[in-house]
Structure 1
Amino acid sequence: MNFFSGGPRERPLFPVPEQELYAFNGRHWTDAPREHIVPAVLPWAQPLGRSERTIVALRAVEVWPEAVTLRITVYSRESLVDDPAEGLIDHRRVTDYNGLLIGVLYADGSRASSESVSVPSASEPDGPVLRAQAVGGTRFAVEHEVFLWPLPSAGPLKLVVQWRDRGIEETRTTLDGGAIRAAAKDAAEIWPGLGKRQAGGLPVRRVGKQVALTPDWGTAVARADAPETAPGE
């Protein structure tokens, strides 16, 4: 008698995006390719801005083939938020200049900051992209990921922090852009040889006795008279 008595589950009709990993789509400016790449890590822990009761600190730099993730934590002697998932670096349509702001200045003068709403786009942007999100912590230490594209050139990359409500005036910290670029070659691919998603292909999944197009490919469509198998199977 087997310890685990349950039988195998019915497999999906076809692999769908949620169940099958395809090759990276090449849009390096949209987000870190964490499902496909192990980043190189630069342990550059240092304060970026501080007041008597608050510190904004860089904990590490994750380097991807064409982008960077800054690991930034805000520490405080009093409660910062009730829920750390809310985060403190906020992208707003109307910027709160008293809140926590972060920006980057490239060696060529181009810049990006949390002042503006940064929405992932299908086409490559004309300028740098900066996108921040909370990733946990506690009420007294709130952790963030700050995604930055593209990689800096071999020159100074300046991080700029300001938080007037917490007594932190504009503070600039210089990182070595050349060292970041050099580290990118150590970012390792996890799954070489993954197949590419077919252009115009519509993976399907079984929904009871129906077949539905997956929502990730547009509007979901379900038909009660759909066959149990996909067309052409």
Structure 2
Amino acid sequence: MNFFQDYPIPAPPPRRRAPQFTPPPWAAPPRFELPAIVSIGEFIYKSPAFVLAVEAAKVYSTGCIFDVNWMLRRTDQEDRKWAEMNAVFHHPAPQLTDRGIAVDSVLLFGAQFQDGVKAISSSLSMYAPHKPMDQEPDGPVFEYRPKGGNAGEDDMSANGALWLWPLPPAGDLRLVAQWTEMGMGESSITVDGTQVRDAAAGVKRYWPTETGHE
């Protein structure tokens, strides 16, 4: 005889499922899509001490993500100067809420479409504090999202993603970067926007009825 059989544990009451937040199309790629990959493999900037490269584009039905990475190699910097550069190197992209940050000290990204329309990182910072996220922006979004990095005695490296919405029109797409404090003036590469746009035809959905957007 089981001692506890006369004391059954009551079943918990039904629990309401919390609603799933689904970002609008301009804020993030669809959740239920396997992107098509477009290889880029180009340096936006390359010097004896600093490089910044674009590896590839992950293309979704609504926009694309550019995978970027950069590395700084130590030359003749003393320990104190190298520590100061470390702090600058790993500072995130500026936002509207930042105060007292010099433009020269941060990594800036930009995109320019064939028709001349431009966007700079982070375009979504335009929402703080007066514009709701669910209100479609007036122009394209180009948001920088840091992923991580490493730092040592001889070099520092980091990588990130650049979310571009909407997909670029046919023609040239110019990707621009600037980081004056790291010795990189305004530099750019030109990507085939037509190839990126056409790659969206190869996107695969996880499930046919799920879009991942409201």
Query: Quick check: 1:92–1:115 contact (8 Å CA) kept in 2?
Result: no
Bigger helix share: 2
- Corresponding residue for residue 44 of structure 2: 48
Aligned residues: 184
160, 163, 173: which one pairs with 2:189? 173
**Percent pairwise identity:** 27
CA distance in structure 1 between the aligned counterparts of 2:211 and 2:39, rounded to whole angstroms: 34
Query: Quick check: 1:39–1:62 contact (8 Å CA) kept in 2?
Result: yes
CA distance in structure 2 between the aligned counterparts of 1:63 and 1:196, rounded to whole angstroms: 15
Query: Quick check: 1:87–1:143 contact (8 Å CA) kept in 2?
Result: no
- Corresponding residue for residue 108 of structure 2: 101
In structure 2, list runs of 5 or more residues that go unmatched.
1-10, 75-81
CA distance in structure 2 between the aligned counterparts of 1:70 and 1:59, rounded to whole angstroms: 7
Q: Which protein, 1 or 2, shows the higher relative CO under an 8 Å CA cutoff with sep ≥ 6?
A: 2
Structure 1 residue 194: Cα displacement: 4.2
CA RMSD of aligned residues (A): 3.2
CA distance in structure 1 between the aligned counterparts of 2:54 and 2:33, rounded to whole angstroms: 22
Query: Quick check: 2:96–2:126 contact (8 Å CA) kept in 1?
Result: no
- Corresponding residue for residue 224 of structure 1: none
Report the TM-score when normalising by structure 1. Answer: 0.68
CA distance in structure 1 between the aligned counterparts of 2:177 and 2:198, rounded to whole angstroms: 25
Is the partner of 2:176 in helix, strand or coil?
strand
Deviations 1:175-199 (A, max 9, x none): 00100011011111112224999x9
- Corresponding residue for residue 119 of structure 2: 112
CA distance in structure 1 between the aligned counterparts of 2:28 and 2:14, rounded to whole angstroms: 28
CA distance in structure 1 between the aligned counterparts of 2:25 and 2:204, rounded to whole angstroms: 15
Structure 1 residue 87: Cα displacement: 5.4
In structure 1, list runs of 5 or more residues that go unmatched.
1-8, 200-233
Is the partner of 1:89 in helix, strand or coil?
coil
Determine if the alignment matches structure 1 residue 91 to structure 2 residue 95: yes
Change (3 A) 1:109 1:167: same
Deviates more, 1:62-71 or 1:136-145: 136-145
- Corresponding residue for residue 204 of structure 2: 188
Report the TM-score when normalising by structure 2. Answer: 0.73
Aligned pairs for 1:62-73 (under 5 A) are 62-73=58-69
- Corresponding residue for residue 31 of structure 1: 28
Structure 1 residue 160: Cα displacement: 0.8
Deviations 1:69-118 (A, max 9, x none): 11111111147647x9x554333456732121110011111111126624
Change (3 A) 1:108 1:51: same
Structure 1 residue 52: Cα displacement: 2.6
